[in-house]
Amino acid sequence: MASDVLVSISVLDADGDTRSAKAHLPAGTTEADIATFATAYMPLLDAVIDGKIISAEYSKPLTLPGGLKAGAVANSEVQKGANFSFVNSSRYKYGVWIPAWTPTKFTGDLVDQAGGGVAAFIAAYVAGLGGVLPTNGFGFDLTALATATKTFRK
């Protein structure tokens, strides 16, 4: 089953808080059709909200590479994960939460950074892959790992 295209419209309220209104479009929707939908949808949304629309974006599904697991490992739980906190040029650390983290890749409440595949996983965020460096969402490169801990989220 193909994933839908997610259109997300950010709304700002009088207190300065933001939330998103979301719309799912069929997986095969073209970029031109996404833009047509969003351009027509935003005035309709604006007419029924008191907040201000401040941004709009969309995400499209990617083709998964070969060689991934055929199924979830027995007893894996997406609520049990690892939280990685990365240093960047802003004054705030940037967090990345990974669901269903392999339990044997923890040492107590910390991620075992020497565990199989963990160092390469962390390096993907700090050094990038294929010439692309991840950012904190505001354009600041992630420069180092600050902490990596076990977490539980509902």
Strands 110-111 and 94-99: unpaired
SS3 137: coil
Q: What is the pLDDT along the chain (154 residues), one digit of tens a residue?
A: 457 889 999 999 999 989 999 998 988 899 999 999 999 999 999 999 999 999 999 998 888 899 999 999 999 999 999 999 999 999 999 999 999 999 999 999 999 999 789 999 999 999 999 999 999 988 899 999 999 999 998 7
Instruction: Give the amino acid at 1.
Output: M
Q: What is the pTM of this model?
A: 0.74
Joined together, the tokens standing for residue 46 give: 């604006």
Task: Enumerate the domain spans of the chain.
Answer: 5-59, 80-152
How far apart (Å, rounded) are the C-alpha atoms in residues 101 and 98? 6
Q: What's residue 2's pLDDT?
A: 57
Ordered alpha helix ranges (H), 18-114: 31-48
Give Rg (Cα) of the chain: 19
Q: What's residue 1's pLDDT?
A: 47
Ordered alpha helix ranges (H), 1-154: 31-48, 118-126
H or E element, residue 83: strand 80-88
How far apart (Å, rounded) are the C-alpha atoms in residues 95 and 90? 13
